[in-house]
């Protein structure tokens, strides 16, 4: 059963209820699906912003400044920080503690870190589920802050309405971002720490790379904004660019299309997750393990074993 | 039907046949599974080396030097370069052309680039299939060269018997590698361009990070080797470290266990691929598309749609 009154408490923006609901999802609690079904009726009002980029680009600082900007406009903000926990130490990042003392005590701000550690592909699903809970609670903006280094982090950033890629003038940074697939997902770029040397050449390198992007007619052209987040320079311009992009999406009916696309990816992920659970039931997992020695010896091939397992799956599923 | 005599020609190390077989796999030709089943009987003799690291670390140069080293010992080498093709230009990397003029004309070297572009998760499957073909052709070593920026690239590097992570003294490089999950997969590290300033401090930073790694008794302790690949400094030591790791794996029965683990991952991937093909047949893909507007409107939730699709799948599969 869903914990008592948690739905009502979430709808009334009770932070502890929101936090508890996210924990239920993180641990894969059996009621979490029921909970999400109930909450879904009230979602879709929050505007979702993805902030991504290489490590050290200043994403946390920018998120904080943007949050404070929205708070001055009396808007509420939920932040989901996807934390690429070190596989060695398991510790949280320093930035998180700094953030908590800065905006964590504000009643209109909800902050949650979600660890990459051990999630193995389930990260984007859980992160977006968490955003739904915050959305249902009535926050105006949701910011996904995620380091752009892995597929699941990219998936999170892409799941936003507006995706911002933050870069710094360090040489080669934009090239690296391109290789990591960050360039494709940006609705606009922020060149942070733009008071540093090399800022102008980084800007022109970025412009050159963007020129190669194919554009369809009427499509949105990603802008490049300069900022120094640590000095709160450029925050207003970033907020304005977000608003501009939001207007663009809404005026053309693209917001709905974009959200439909996001739901499509997500539903596929949920179905495939259900299916894998069914597929890797104990007896098939054991049968796979038992076959491995023969495959290494060359007696049978991976493809033959795969077909046997798939046929067994088909014949036993009801 | 499998193209005429391709199997025999692969077994006799015919480069054109190897190349053609890899193309069949890349395009998803319907005979490719049959081909791989046939070839599997002759594989397992090649020793597989994964070379990965951040962009610009000098992986290609190191691969070339190592290849030349093995060729002097009269060993044959197959190279699979996983090329993170730019999503904008679609062009091949410059390094590839340099390489071809260097070792590409050597009869005992087979080189193949495989593009990341558009592979969407199928990359590691196709790359490892390609390695199997090269293995069946009788090459002594197979080198996977892949940039360590995405999950599928990491998957390729992990699929080797010995995985080498190449870093450079640039500040923060090792930290970034840690966040990207590179540290966990290294059997040893190469600190390339170690004649640059900052080399010693990078080395000690790396050692500190490694100290946090948990070690079980008898386990292999990853070494850190210095190199300047562009001057062919350190190549012999790298080859010796590979040999040392190979001996360690063989002496303890770990090579077999490691290859079994790799096959396990791979078979699971093949089965899940078969299942997804079945799952996303036209009528279900259409039914998913038709439901999206209702999900955006809040009339129904992603979880309800997912369950409906899954139930349909279960009831129609034979």
Find chain B residues with C-beta within 8 A of A304's C-beta. 37
Give percent of chain B above pLDDT 90. 55
* CA pair distance A243, A224, nearest whole angstrom: 15
Task: State phi, psi for A191 to the nearest 5 degrees.
Answer: -90, 95
Tokens of A263: 């739901």
What pLDDT is attached to residue B208? 79
- Would you place residue A119 in the very low, low, confident or very high pLDDT band (cuts 50, 70, 90)? very low
Tokens of B58: 């000098």
Asked if A151 and B147 come within 8 Å (Cβ–Cβ), the reply is: no
List, for residues A255-298, the tens digit of each pLDDT value.
Answer: 999 999 999 999 998 999 889 999 999 999 999 999 999 999 98
**If you ran DSSP here, which 8-state letter would residue B49 be given?**
E
Chain A: closest CA distance from residue B42 (Å): 7
Could you list the beta-strand ranges (E) of chain A.
47-53, 77-83, 109-115, 141-147, 162-167, 188-191, 223-226
Find chain A residues with C-beta within 8 A of B91's C-beta. none
Chain B: closest CA distance from residue A271 (Å): 5
What pLDDT is attached to residue A90? 34
Report the top-level CATH class of A44-271. Answer: alpha beta
Question: B11, B267, B268, B293: which to substitute to probe chain A, counting the most A Cβ within 10 Å?
Answer: B267
Chains A–B, number of C-beta pairs less than 8 Å apart: 191
Report the top-level CATH class of B43-251. Answer: alpha beta
Q: B255 burial class (0-12, 13-18, 19+ CB within 10 angstroms)?
A: buried
List, for residues A45-54, the tens digit of each pLDDT value.
Answer: 999 999 988 7
Among A126-130, A152-156, B27-31, B267-271, the minimum mean pLDDT is found in: A152-156
Question: A40, A56, A214, A267: which to substitute to probe chain B, counting the most B Cβ within 10 Å?
Answer: A267
Torsion sign (Cα): B229, B230, B236, B242: positive
Question: B42, B301, B317, B318: which to substitute to probe chain A, counting the most A Cβ within 10 Å?
Answer: B301
Domain boundaries, chain B: 43-251, 280-316
A220: pLDDT strictly greater than 60: yes
Chain B: closest CA distance from residue A297 (Å): 8
Nearest to A260 among B184, B292, B309 (CB): B292
Asked if B60 and B81 touch (Cβ cutoff 8 Å), the reply is yes
- Would you place residue B202 in the very low, low, confident or very high pLDDT band (cuts 50, 70, 90)? confident
* CA pair distance B13, A318, nearest whole angstrom: 47
* CA pair distance A264, A273, nearest whole angstrom: 14
List, for residues B23-62, the tens digit of each pLDDT value.
Answer: 998 887 778 889 999 999 999 999 999 998 877 788 889 9
Q: Mean pLDDT, chain A, as a whole number?
A: 85
For range B229-250, the mean pLDDT: 96
Nearest to A179 among B147, B179, B184 (CB): B147
Q: Which of A303, A286, A47, A167 is nearest to B129 (CA)?
A: A303
What pLDDT is attached to residue A206? 82
Q: CB-based contacts of B300: which residues, under 8 Å, 6+ apart?
A: A40, B291, B294
Asked if A263 and B292 come within 8 Å (Cβ–Cβ), the reply is: yes
Q: What is the dihedral of CA B133, B135, B140, B146, to 10 degrees?
A: 70
Asked if B242 and B141 touch (Cβ cutoff 8 Å), the reply is no
List the Cα angle B91/B54/B162 in 5-degree steps. 105
List, for residues A194-219, the tens digit of each pLDDT value.
Answer: 998 888 888 888 887 777 665 554 57
ipTM, interface predicted TM-score of the complex: 0.84
Residues paired with residue B146 on neighbouring β-strands, in sequence order: B52, B82
B18: pLDDT strictly greater than 80: yes
Nearest to B263 among A150, A214, A302 (CB): A302
Which is higher by pLDDT, B82 or B240?
A: B240
Q: Mean pLDDT, chain B, as a whole number?
A: 85
pTM of the model: 0.78
Asked if A183 and B88 come within 8 Å (Cβ–Cβ), the reply is: yes
- Would you place residue A171 in the very low, low, confident or very high pLDDT band (cuts 50, 70, 90)? low
Nearest-by-CA chain B residue for A147: B179
Q: A315 burial class (0-12, 13-18, 19+ CB within 10 angstroms)?
A: exposed
List, for residues B88-121, the tens digit of each pLDDT value.
Answer: 333 344 455 556 667 878 999 999 988 765 444 5
What is residue A201's three-state secondary structure?
helix
* CA pair distance B67, B51, nearest whole angstrom: 12
* CA pair distance B279, A271, nearest whole angstrom: 9
B287: pLDDT strictly greater than 90: yes
What pLDDT is attached to residue B31? 86
How many residues are present in chain A? 318
Q: Which of B177, B127, B118, B175 is nearest to B155 (CA)?
A: B127
- Would you place residue A92 in the very low, low, confident or very high pLDDT band (cuts 50, 70, 90)? very low
């Amino acid at each position: 059963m869903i914990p008592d009154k948690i739905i009502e408490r979430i709808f009334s923006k009770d932070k502890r209820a929101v936090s508890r609901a996210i924990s239920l999802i993180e641990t894969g609690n059996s009621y979490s699906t029921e909970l999400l079904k109930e909450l879904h009726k009230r979602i879709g009002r929050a505007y979702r912003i993805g902030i991504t980029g290489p490590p050290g680009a200043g994403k946390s600082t920018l998120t904080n400044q943007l949050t404070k900007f929205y708070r001055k406009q009396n808007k509420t903000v939920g932040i989901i920080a996807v934390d690429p926990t070190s596989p060695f130490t398991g510790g949280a990042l320093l930035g998180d503690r700094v953030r908590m003392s800065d905006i964590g005590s504000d009643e209109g701000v909800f902050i949650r870190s979600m660890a990459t550690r051990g999630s193995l592909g389930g990260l984007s699903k859980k992160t977006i589920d968490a955003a739904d809970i915050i959305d249902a609670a009535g926050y105006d903006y949701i910011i996904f802050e995620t380091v752009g280094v892995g597929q699941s982090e990219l998936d999170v950033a892409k799941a936003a309405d507006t995706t911002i890629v933050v870069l710094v003038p360090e040489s080669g940074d934009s090239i690296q971002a391109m290789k990591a697939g960050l360039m494709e997902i940006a609705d606009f770029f922020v060149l942070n720490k733009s008071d540093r040397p090399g800022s102008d050449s980084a800007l022109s390198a970025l412009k050159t790379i963007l020129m190669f992007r194919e554009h369809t007619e009427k499509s949105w052209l990603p802008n490049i904004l300069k900022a120094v987040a640590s000095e709160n320079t450029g925050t207003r311009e970033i907020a304005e660019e977000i608003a501009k992009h939001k207007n663009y999406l809404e005026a053309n009916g693209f917001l709905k299309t974009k959200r439909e696309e996001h739901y499509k990816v997500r539903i596929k992920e949920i179905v495939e997750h259900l299916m894998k659970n069914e597929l890797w039931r104990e007896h098939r997992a054991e049968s796979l393990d038992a076959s491995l020695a023969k495959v290494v010896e060359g007696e049978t091939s991976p493809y033959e074993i795969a077909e046997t397992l798939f046929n067994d799956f088909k014949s036993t599923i009801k």
